[in-house]
Structure 1
Amino acid sequence: MLIIAPLVMLKYGQFMGVLDEEWQWLLPASLPLGISFYTFQGWAYVTARLRGQLLQTPGFGRVALYLLFFPQLVAGPIVRPSQLIPQFDHFDRNRLAMLKNGLFLIVSGYIKKALLADNLAAWVDPVYANPTGVGAGSVLLAVVAYGFQIYLDFSGYSDIAIGIARLFGIRLPENFRFPYSACDFQSFWRRWHITLSTWLRDHLYIPMGGSRRGKLRLVLALGITMLLGGLWHGAHWNYVLWGGAHGLLLAVERWIRPGNRSQLFRRLYRFWTLGMVFLLWVPFRAGAYPDGWERMGSLLGRLMDVGAMWGSLPEKGVQWVLIVMLGYGVLSARGKSMWRWLVRWPAWATGLLAVTVVLAVLLLAPGESSFIYFVF
């Protein structure tokens, strides 16, 4: 309890009504950057010690380095102690391959963030800032664009963090595995923010019984895990709604078992999964505002106006073409093959590509902006 007490008080004190109004002005200044991430790592270390999962008891310096390892300190990946602490004594000896791979990951993360995600923000931010002053077509475009933006922004940060760690000879776990190519919600959560999903499974879902104690316990475990996972992102009911909706969809999926249905059903279910994932980003994105409920209602109301939405789609033709190209080239399996092909380039070619990308970012990036997950 002592581990999570600062997180609960500083991040959720106002939300739960346990922090007096006279002290609430301190919250923006007193909330440490990345507190949600290293709190979970601290919890993981204590749990690993209690469960006897560490072969040796590390010294204070190793534990401190595990908690404060700077590449992933602010926004993950969330690393198990058994994954990271042993590496401090046994760095990867293949230095050239690690340096090349790390540089490639940093460059690819920079492309995702500065060239793609930040430019998509120009389509998203005006709509969420003024949802009543835009048409249905603009709302639909913003909803789809934000789904790509948050993926590119967060996976870009993860690539940069993993890449910097590899420059030091440290391997951090993969955090994203093309989540929008998932065939169902369970597959999506095995691909999206993998280290958080794994942490929630190991420390909440399984201890509550998981799927081993009947359907009712399974539904309760899923619901509580996803509700808390949503609340982890921020002290706002929009995040609770987002997490709870995903928990409900996961529970229903366990009942209908789409993997055992016909091929047509599985294909339709895949589109349903992707559509619901993108739609549920609406309350998530609106949660960044104090009046998130009202903004979410306005946006969803605009989406219900199907006639106006279809009528305004041609006005956004260029943007939709770019969105389709982005989805095909970056998020599909073909995009993954392209990245694997690039990483096999010789070192001089990788270096030349890195310089080219940096110059392109300096010329084409819309400006500086923080990573989305820095606020969590």
Structure 2
Amino acid sequence: MGTDIKNVGIGTRFIHAGAEPDPSTGAIMTPIFQTSTFVQEAPDVHKGYDYSRAGNPTRTALEKAYAGIENANYGLAFSSGLGATDAIIKLLSAGDEVIAGTDMYGGSYRLFSKVFERMGIKFQYVDQRNPYNIAKAISPRTKLIWVETPTNPLINIVDIAAVVAIAKPHNILVCVDNTFASPYLQNPLELGADIVMHSSTKYLGGHSDVVQGAIMINDEKLRDELYFLQKSCGAVPGPMDCFLVLRGIKTLHVRMQRHCENGRKVAEALRKNPKVGKVHWCGFEDHPGHEVAKKQMRDFGGMISIELKDESLEAAVEVMKKTKVFSLAESLGGVESLVNHPATMTHASIPREERIKNGLSDSLIRLSVGIEDAEDLIADLNQAIG
């Protein structure tokens, strides 16, 4: 496969992105260069690598793959999604402002509110479902708009192109956390975003066996600034982790097809369960963000949140204790189905009054629908809900 993969189908792109046969052996899979340092012929005379924090051949292959799967010019790999987020916010200085969403991953909120606010960066949280709320929040100090879509955990949808149209006249960067959608469903750079970020731990790795993060960008200057932060601050992944994500990306399209198929079946079945009060899934035609999702996504994914008619925390806990195929655990996007309680797990760092105000109730249950047989997933949820 040649190096230009921009004009091939999405499945071909995912399988071949970043992949070149090893020149020394012809190995079709990228070798794991498990080394910390590289021998030099003379000071600063080497074969492109000197120290694995600055660069490693396995990581280089993955970073090329990251660029390829998002149709970007550049990709950067980090030790975690939050490591990638940390580097992006470090593009800013004290006194700068960021507009973020009221419904967002709790780890990002914790990083913003507990770390970067202490360093003098101001964060405003607005309901980004209405782009007018973003426009109202802009000030002369606004340097970045941080977008999640679909959001974690309420599966709200933000119109990326509309946010870009608001940001560009003010020279404000737009970063999209694309973790829930994956590059299979959504490509924010093609909608005008400046930066795309992923927790590769999720759908890109896909097998719950690696923690990693990714950034994709088109602008060379922005890439150089982010690479400087990657190298200087050190949140880099090891070569084995890079190998695992490279392997995961090769099956992203077939896994995502099944996640989407199962997500639809599970969401529709949950709506029929008399004990379920609300199902949050952007594939429903009556979902408030459905038309935007249909415009900017290829399908609607396997992330679902539900609220029981019995709105007590105790009822939600009982359901999560009873599932057998769904495992109660942090994270999402693996081949196996997971159930999660955002209020006490992924979003516990957000103050309760803020969670409630933003619609994240104590009884909300988040589902990451895996690629098992849909009938088994539906039967498991129905027996657990009762």
**Shared fold (TM-score, shorter chain, > 0.5):** no
Bigger helix share: 1
Which structure has more RCO (C-alpha within 8 Å, separation ≥ 6)? 1
TM-score norm. by structure 1 comes to 0.30
Please report the TM-score for the alignment, with normalisation by the length of structure 2: 0.29
Structure having the larger proportion of residues in strand: 2
